Structure formats: structure tokens, C-alpha cells
Amino acid sequence: MKTLDLFASNELQVVENETITVENILLSEADENALLNPISDNNVYFEPFTEVEKTKGITLAQLKESADIVDIKGDLSNEINAYQLINQVTGICNEFGLTYEIKDLFVADNKNKALGNGISINKQLCEAYQLENQTNNIPFKAVTFNRVFANINLTDLSNSTHVANIVVASNQKGLQVAIGANCYACRNQTILGAKNMASTYGTTDKIKNISDFIERVRQMIREYSFDKDVNILNKMKQIRIDSNTIYQMIGELTAIRCAFDSKIKSIKSLINSDVYPLNQSQICKFTESLLLTFKAKGVLSLYDVYQSATALYKVASMDLPNVLLQGSAFANYLNNRYDLEM
């Protein structure tokens, strides 16, 4: 029986004046330069998103002025807000003498059926302010940013290709902080192992108490090894992936997704995981990315596979609450397959 092998050996295609990367391949899905578009040029007035915008850059001062995520009683839903959490994390960096730079700070307004919009405006507060100040502008103090994401680079922990990065994420479900060795060439989040992420939701080891959560973040930053992460990534680059392995992985990831979403308990119970590594739409894009990468390079490594997945975990193209969870799940999937010693 003759089978179709899309990853069969072919001639290496030379692309003049351009290096094809996974990031180039998926750029049309989520142009990350859009993250740099400022939400406002001042700390008083919020400028609403356009129909095509899903993310916008924000300053710490603007975030400080915004309204909190609160429950029906008016209490802070996550016990501390995003601004306070970022300050807690940078305070821990100072405590350990780490030089840091807040590389990205942005808010998302992508829709979520369960959680609603990423941005909420208190109509009563807004109208009162506009009436008092005779303006049509929307004040930051009437705006709640339900999904906030920050990348904090640890500039002392870096080499020619990677820099240690702390991710801080806040949304209606809870809070997350993770750390990993991010590639300079892109914003792909590198979370190699559950020990490198702390979360108040979505995992079996979630930490609901905020004091315990902050202490876990402190421990995670203190014990983090940049060199270990880089060694794991270099090990991935040395592992060549053949076509049979690629097809097997695509099949496994599809089966995991199907079992996870199954309404049949006996099938759903086959998966002992908090979240699947890739949803069905992501599996299609993941496969397309691998095909294009192979067409450009002629070979595939485990690192190419990993990058093809992490390029999909972006706030502009998926729900923020799942970005870090899925990234960690995919790393665990590879670790179980290849014993990468995460």
C-alpha cells in the first residue's frame, strides 16, 4: 500500500534575504508588533480598541489608574490586582539582586463565551465623570482590564540567544506567574516543567491562598536555573525528528484533545491532565507550521516541534487563561516522550 508522506526528504529550498522561522510562518495569525500599539498617550483617558485589535500596550501608571476585578460583593476577585502582582514580582527580583526590565505589558480584549469581554467599563462611573468634566473621554478609573499580561526580562540571566523571562498574567479566573528562557527572536513562552509555574487556578496543584502563592513565586524565582533551561533547549536541537514520529505525535495530540473533550466518561478518564497541549484548531496550525519549516530546512528537530507549538500560545490568538497552562502541558508532553529531565 502506498502512503502519502508529506515530510519525505526533499531538496533544501534557499530563501534569499530571509530566514524562515516558525514566527514568520505564523505571523499572519497574530502580528505581535500590535502589542506595541499604546492604549493611550496619557494616564487619564482610555482609548477603546478598534474592531481588529485584540491586544494593546499599557504602562504601569495607566494600569494603576484602572479599576479592579471585583466579585459581586465588591471585593477583589484575586485578592490582589495585576498592578500589585507585578510590583510583588519585581520586589522579589530586587530582593534577590536581579536586574530586570518590563519588556512587555499589555491588555487583551479577545472575547470569551464563559468569561465575557477582556475589558469592562463601569457605565455609571464613566457617565458621572464625563458629566462632571464635560468630556466624552473614558477615564481609566472606570475601566477594568480583565486580562493583563507582562513579560519581565532578567537581563543578568542571558546569553546570545536567550534571556530569562518572568511572565505575569491576571484574568477573571485567577493569577499566574511563570519563568523560563525565552528566545530573543520571538516572544514564545518557554515553560519547561510545572516547577517553573505558579497558578491560582486550572491545575491540580493550584494555590488559592494569595500569601502562599506569592511565597511559591519567591521560591520559584530563587531556585530557577537559566543554564538548565538552555541545556534542555539545546538537547531538543540535537534530537532529529523523522516523518513517522511527526505523524505519531500529531495523532497522539489529536487523541489527547478528543479524549479531553469527550462526553463519554470512560474515554475522558483516559486523560490525567488539567488541560490539553493543543486544541483542534491549534493542531492544524501546528501541522502546517511543521510542514513549512520542513520545506524550508529539509530536516526537523525536536526544538522545531517545540517552537511550532509555543508560537501558538499567544494572547492575540487564544484565550489568555490558557496560554501558560497549555505551554506547560506541551512541555510536559515532550518531557514524557523524550525524558528531557525537566
pLDDT tens, residue by residue, 90-106: 999 999 999 999 998 99
List, in order, residues 6 or more apart from 145 with CB less than 8 Å away. 58, 63, 66, 82, 107, 118, 119
Please state which of the ranges 31-40, 52-61, 217-226 shows the lowest mean pLDDT. Answer: 31-40
Phi, psi angles (nearest 5°) of residue 307:
-65, -35
Instruction: Tell me, yes or no, whether 284 lies in a domain.
Output: yes
pLDDT band at 13, cuts 50/70/90?
very low
pLDDT band at 166, cuts 50/70/90?
very high
Span 182-199, mean pLDDT?
86
Sign of CA dihedral 236, 242, 247, 248: negative
What pLDDT, in 10s, does the model give residues 269-317?
Answer: 888 778 899 999 999 999 999 998 888 888 899 999 999 999 899 887 7
Structural domain of 320 = 22-338
C-alpha cell at 46: 482610555
Domain total in the chain: 1
pLDDT confidence of residue 180: 96
> By three-state DSSP, how is residue 250 classified?
helix
Residue 252 CA from chain centroid, whole number: 23
pLDDT band at 15, cuts 50/70/90?
very low
What pLDDT, in 10s, does the model give residues 251-273?
Answer: 999 999 999 888 998 888 888 77
The most distant pair of C-alpha atoms in the chain lies apart, rounded to whole Å, by: 78
Q: Could you give the angle at the alpha carbon of 322 between the alpha carbons of 320 and 211, nearest 5°?
A: 85
- HSE at residue 109, side-chain half, CA atoms within 13 A, is 20
Per the model's pLDDT, the better-predicted residue between 244 and 272 turns out to be 244
Tell whether pTM > 0.85: yes
Instruction: Tell me, yes or no, whether 137 lies in a domain.
Output: yes
| 170 vs 79: CA distance, rounded Å | 11
User: Using an 8 Å Cβ cutoff, are 77 and 70 in contact?
Assistant: yes
C-alpha cell at 258: 478528543
Instruction: Tell me, yes or no, whether 317 lies in a domain.
Output: yes
| 243 vs 140: CA distance, rounded Å | 52
List alpha helices for the chain, DSSP H.
Answer: 22-26, 60-65, 82-95, 123-133, 210-223, 226-238, 243-261, 265-268, 280-297, 302-310, 320-338
User: Using an 8 Å Cβ cutoff, are 328 and 178 in contact?
Assistant: yes
Residues linked to residue 143 through DSSP beta bridges, in sequence order: 121
Tell the burial category of 273 from Cβ atoms under 10 Å away from its Cβ (0-12, 13-18, 19+). Answer: middle
User: Using an 8 Å Cβ cutoff, are 44 and 140 in contact?
Assistant: yes
Instruction: Tell me, yes or no, whether 5 lies in a domain.
Output: no
pLDDT confidence of residue 36: 56
Evaluate if residue 72 carries a pLDDT over 90.
Answer: no
Instruction: Tell me, yes or no, whether 74 lies in a domain.
Output: yes
Instruction: Tell me, yes or no, whether 2 lies in a domain.
Output: no
List, in order, residues 6 or more apart from 19 with CB less than 8 Å away. none
Rounded to the nearest integer, the mean pLDDT of the chain is: 86
Closest C-alpha among 231, 232, 211, 214 to residue 222: 214
Instruction: Tell me, yes or no, whether 14 lies in a domain.
Output: no
Residues linked to residue 112 through DSSP beta bridges, in sequence order: 116
pLDDT band at 118, cuts 50/70/90?
confident
Instruction: Tell me, yes or no, whether 10 lies in a domain.
Output: no
| 165 vs 181: CA distance, rounded Å | 6
